[in-house]
Amino acid sequence: MFNHQSVKSLSALIIAIVSALLFDELAVLFVATVALLIIWVFAIAYTKASAPTVIVGNVLALVCTLTLFLTIGISELVNLFIAMLLQANCLKLLIAEKPRQIKSIVLVNFFISSCVFLFYHSLPVTLLVLFLFLLNITALYLLTNRKIIKQSGARAFKLLLLSLPITCVLFLFLPKLPAFWRMPSLSTAQVGLSESVNPFNISDLTKSDKLAFRAVVPDNIAAPYYWRTMVHEEFDGRSWNIVDSADLKLRNSALKKAGREIKIYHEQTSLNWLPTLYAGSSSTGNIFTTVDGGLYRVNPNNQKFTYDITEIDFADDLTSSKRRLNLTLPQDINTQSVALASQLKAQSTSTEQFIQLLSRYYTQQQFSYTLKPPIYTGNNSIDEFMFGEKQGFCGHYASSSAFIFRAAGIPARVVSGYLGGEASNSAKYLSVYQYDAHAWTEVWLPSKGWVKFDATAFVEPERLYGSLSQLDNTRDDFEENIGVGLTALSDIAVFNELRLYLEQLDYQWTAWVLSFDNEAQNKLLKELIKETSALKIAVIVMSLIGLFLVSFLVIKLWQRRTQIDDPVAAYLIALEHFAKGKNLARGNGETVAHFLTRLCEHFPNNKTDLMSFLSLYSRHRYGEKTLTKAQTKMLKRNVNNIKYKRQL
């Protein structure tokens, strides 16, 4: 009888770990339901709790299914599918008793463990999934070989080690096929930015310490780093929105490279718009330059990806229709701000002078930068901010400035993206997080085109450099928003060093493994064989796989060389090694019968197998009769039961 309770416990542990990893993707009530089912599985395995009857099981399945659909719904199909697998395996664990039933649960757990890669690709998650595979292979060994967990785990670990070389070969040389399907869009909260921006949206980003992207920036580009992502030109009184024509592709004839290049390692995102420091083009597939000089990605698939940016000579043109769009304001709102615009307009003789006067207004009127601003709910929210509390973050300043510029007859728009980034210890790349999201204003100057105006620079100039997490004035609010984590504890030297070290490891993993695409593979192959061809690739792959398989076969044959000559003697030697490990070594001149009888006294639970072994050994050794194939298998089974059966 195999140890089915150990197998079910390992399977339940795997489901629990996967559910915890996917906590953010699954509903809280569903995860709680899975947790209760897992606790019931462990209670059945290690207490006197009973399994549910057929009727109870069916009712429980119905209730769990209703909970699943009510909490997750059918809009997130991938999440729903994974949740159904988790729930089905939990319910099956409650009632499974036969080996075939439990084996199906173990096999499904391989797929469940792999589903984690649909959402996360970091190095720690990869190592954790390998650990889940180790647990699952251990469960398979327990099913098929009746070994204890320690022995089965050791064999599973060896199997994983043997699989790593062939895995590396396939990773390096197997052609990278395009995805057959893509993940549905992530929610706005996960992505970090939205195509519709109002002053109350971006504050939510300080609650997320997820990485947005990493950037390798050349030394000739100095801070501050404004990662321009989306341009919002349509204003409805509260929100700034992207116009329908924003995703039009810039003609290739207008793409004239200017020299500077940046490499971006981007995290999962469902947004089509990509961050860039300047108007640029990209040689990465499915990415093109828009009419506003931004970058647009076609068919995002919510996977990590890498792209390059090359600066281009870009001259925007303000057509009459675009001028009207960037001067349009709703009527009869924010009258005080309109009056301020008229006042500053009367005092200035040029747009440049108007910009200076507005900058001086922000500086002299004691505005403050905060991550916890008051709530402005009225139709005149800009007036409430500009002439009331005067406390806000980037969204407040960007929206208010664009409104005042338009009220003064100066074309203006809001731009959203990210500001700054945290430099690595090696200073080779910047890490930009979701809480680094930022908004600013672009103003049209006839002589220069669209120029950046960021009121944050006058209110909180330190925000322009580094990351929001490094800003001292808002440190308390930042830590309160982020909550418990290494980022919030970065002011403690030990935790900050640990965080930076883990960041460095994850960067290397992203740069060398996750970014190993067709281009990188072709480059590697060209370096190895100078000329890439399908035939040469196939020969290299098959040769390396063949070499691995031949080496594996030679090792196995060498390990079994004694068994081929005399399997009965080999099994006796195995028993002697087992006894020696238990400090019960066979003495010099001690007969086999006395040796096995002595073992029976120390291992009464194995007496049946020991006596069976003695009978078969005596038949072969003294009866001078060759054992049949079935008897040899019985001898092997006796030895395995003696070596691995748990001693009570």
Helix (H, G, I), strand (E, B) or coil at 519: helix
Q: DSSP state, 488? A: T
How much is the average pLDDT of 452-469?
90
Cβ-proximal residues to 292 (8 Å cutoff; 6+ apart), any chain: 231, 246, 316
Going by their DSSP bridges, the two strands 430-433 and 211-216 should be labelled as: antiparallel
Of 160-164, 532-536, 592-596, 618-622, the poorest mean pLDDT is in 532-536
Report whether pLDDT(447) > 70: yes
The Cα–Cα gap between 638 and 152 comes to 17
Report the DSSP beta bridge partners of residue 262: 309
Cβ-proximal residues to 99 (8 Å cutoff; 6+ apart), any chain: 2, 4, 143
What is the share, in percent, of the chain residues with pLDDT greater than 70?
86
Closest CA to 334 of 380, 371, 290: 380
Q: Which long-range contacts (CB under 8 A, 24 or more apart) does 78-85 make?
A: 78/118, 78/183, 78/184, 79/25, 79/26, 82/22, 82/25, 82/26, 82/112, 82/115, 82/118, 83/26, 83/30, 85/111, 85/112, 85/115
Closest CA to 268 of 335, 187, 157: 187
Report the DSSP beta bridge partners of residue 240: 197, 235
Residue 388 pLDDT class (50, 70, 90 cuts): confident
Task: Give per-residue pLDDT as tens, 268-313.
Answer: 888 899 999 988 889 888 899 998 889 999 887 767 888 999 988 8
Report whether pLDDT(377) > 80: no
- pLDDT in the model for residue 578: 85
Q: Please tell me the number of Cα atoms within 13 Å of 331 on its side-chain side.
A: 0
The Cα–Cα gap between 176 and 185 comes to 23
**Where are the domains positioned within the chain?**
4-160, 188-493, 519-559, 561-644
Instruction: Kindly report the average pLDDT of the chain as a whole number.
Output: 83
Task: Give per-residue pLDDT as tens, 124-137.
Answer: 899 999 999 999 99
Cβ contact 354:348 at 8 Å:
yes
Of 227-231, 397-401, 559-563, the poorest mean pLDDT is in 559-563
For residues 483 and 576, the model is more confident at: 576
Residues 432, 434, 437: CA angle, nearest 5 degrees: 85
Residue 205 pLDDT class (50, 70, 90 cuts): very low
Say how many residues make up the chain: 648
How much is the average pLDDT of 610-625?
80
Cβ-proximal residues to 273 (8 Å cutoff; 6+ apart), any chain: 193, 195, 229, 230, 294, 295, 296, 297
Task: Give per-residue pLDDT as tens, 490-548.
Answer: 666 776 777 777 788 888 888 788 777 777 777 777 776 665 566 666 676 677 777 77
Q: What is the pTM of this model?
A: 0.73
**What Rg value do the Cα atoms of the chain yield, rounded?**
34
Going by their DSSP bridges, the two strands 430-433 and 422-423 should be labelled as: antiparallel
Cis ω for the linkage preceding 461 (within 30 of 0):
no
Within 10 angstroms of residue 337's Cβ, the number of other Cβ atoms is: 21
How much is the average pLDDT of 96-116?
90
Return the biggest CA–CA distance within the chain.
119
Q: Give the highest mean pLDDT range of 149-153, 187-191, 276-280, 523-527.
A: 276-280
Cβ contact 396:199 at 8 Å:
yes
CA 93 vs CA 62, 81, 232, 417, 492: distances in Å? 16, 19, 53, 48, 45
Task: Give per-residue pLDDT as tens, 242-256.
Answer: 998 888 888 765 566
- pLDDT in the model for residue 45: 82
How much is the average pLDDT of 187-204?
60
Residue with tokens 């210890």: 425
What is the share, in percent, of the chain residues with pLDDT greater than 90?
29
Report whether pLDDT(186) > 70: no
Report whether pLDDT(27) > 60: yes
For residues 643 and 106, the model is more confident at: 106
For residues 28 and 489, the model is more confident at: 28
- pLDDT in the model for residue 533: 62
